[in-house]
Amino acid sequence: MLSLLWKSFLAVLFPGGLIFLIAIGFLRPQGLPMWLQQPIAALPYIVLGFGLIFGWYFASSRMILSLLVLALADRALVLFPTTGVDQVGVNQTIVAVTAFLVPLNLLAFSILKEDSLSTLRGVARVVLVLVQPFLLLWLCLPDQHDLASSFTREYIPSLYTDWTPIPQPALFAFATALLLHFIRFALHRDPLEGGAIWALFAIFVAYHTSRDGWQPTNFFMAAGLILFVTLLQTFYQRTYRDELTGIPGRLAYEEAIGQLGKRFSLAIISIDQLSQYANTHGKPVSEQILKRVAPRVQAACAEGQVFRTTGEDLTVLFPGTSATETLVTLETVRKTIEAIGMFLRGQDRVWEMQRGTKKAGSRDRALPITLSIGVAEKLSDSATLSLVIKSAYRAVYEAKEIGGNVVKRGPVASVPARQSHARAGKIVTSGEYGT
């Protein structure tokens, strides 16, 4: 439990929290030496440019629109300061409305599905963002004073909000956006959701910088940088992690085997009943089982690297480890999964819960889950990776033949005498057969 909480904390903190803390530490007045001030002044333009380019390249409308909103909010805060001007009422309205709209915009971009800006929906989102500055100008008209004042009005006693220059409606918008982003991150563990949380903190600080002599542009830049870095993190995870299970996928496996030494072990983990449950209850049920089993296998197999390489099987690599040394770990994995109780909920469960009872529905079905595990090792230069894999799969098949729920060690992988790789079979089409 503590390990899970620690991983969740680190997932929220990095990299967005780290960038935010660095911004707080270095982007203050006289916080940098003179030779760094000019590069820092150019950094907002660099972040905006690279963010837009990468957002377009990765077809991330969320990234592009978020940066556009941040840039517009920054210009509004810089061009319409709320202190030392004649038209303080107009400026306060502009700043108050932007502070209200920015967190709601970021929240909307998070909820809406990613869509290319070249589509009709993408164009509509861009238009919606670009219309907002004109909405601000319309609210600044004298005959819209009553509506505009609702963004600066105090709805609760001011003594609770005296610590911040942000009006109460905008504070409510920030709090709502933060809460929903936290919920979405807890549900989906999407790096972009964690990045949005820290981006909102940076934007919140930006609205407090003017009175203290800080540059709000730097903190809007920090918010954009957080979103940019988390976008790269998201696409990295989508590339190297299996979308269904969340564990490393095929590409990560290919890179890992390239780093293996001359001595290693490889295990194949197969869920015994998965094909049967897919045929009986449908593929979505088998996918749910795999989704629940794979992370538990990864957690129980601390000494090995777990990957999803095929549809139903998991592959575990043990660098520098013999097959004998892996048996204790693999037996722990087997017992861990065997102890899990899984049930397929029946359709009558909803009706019973509506009556206020917590007992299982009469149509609920227990789904026993067990593993067949085969492990093989490479101890000599004559054995290739493909032979090690074949040996591990042979052990899996032997485990299934005796009823499953067992760990089997495959034969030592080695090249048989007088075997010629040139004689290996070749797959041809019917048109090529006979030529």
Residue by residue, pLDDT tens for the chain (435 residues) are 445 556 666 767 788 888 998 888 777 666 666 777 777 788 899 999 999 998 888 888 999 999 999 999 999 988 887 765 445 578 888 999 999 999 999 999 999 888 778 888 888 999 999 999 999 889 888 888 889 889 988 888 888 888 898 999 999 999 999 999 999 988 877 888 889 999 999 999 999 887 666 788 989 999 999 999 998 888 888 788 888 888 999 889 998 988 887 889 999 999 998 888 888 888 888 899 999 999 999 999 888 999 998 778 999 999 989 899 999 999 999 999 999 878 887 654 443 434 444 455 555 678 889 999 999 998 776 678 889 999 999 999 999 999 999 999 988 665 554 444 445 566 766 666 665
Residues 6+ apart with CB under 8 A from 55: 61, 62, 63, 64, 67, 231
* Closest C-alpha to 177, from 99, 233, 113, 252: 99
- pTM passes above 0.85: no
Tell me the torsion sign for CA atoms 360, 361, 365, 371.
negative
Cis peptide before 15 (omega within 30 of 0): yes
DSSP state letter for 131: H
What's the pLDDT score for residue 119?
84
Domain locations along the chain = 2-240, 250-413
Chain center to CA of 174: 22
| CB-count burial class (<10 Å; 0-12, 13-18, 19+) for 330 | buried
**For the residues of 191-255, what is the DSSP string, one character each?**
HHHHHHHHHHHHHHHHTTSGGGT--HHHHHHHHHHHHHHHHHHHHHHHHHB-TTT-SB-HHHHHH
- pLDDT for 83 equals 63
| Amino acid sitting at position 319 | P
Cβ-based neighbours of 195, under 8 Å, separated by 6 or more:
15, 16, 226, 227, 229, 230, 231, 233
Asked whether the beta carbons of 315 and 253 are under 8 A apart, the reply is yes
Rg of the chain over CA atoms, in angstroms?
A: 29
- Asked whether the CA dihedral 19, 20, 21, 23 is positive or negative, the reply is positive
DSSP 8-state secondary structure symbol assigned to residue 359: S
| Pairing state between β 264-271 and 365-366 | unpaired
Are the C-beta atoms of 230 and 51 separated by less than 8 Å? Answer: no
As its CATH architecture, domain 250-413 has 2-Layer Sandwich (3.30)
DSSP H/E element including 409: strand 406-409
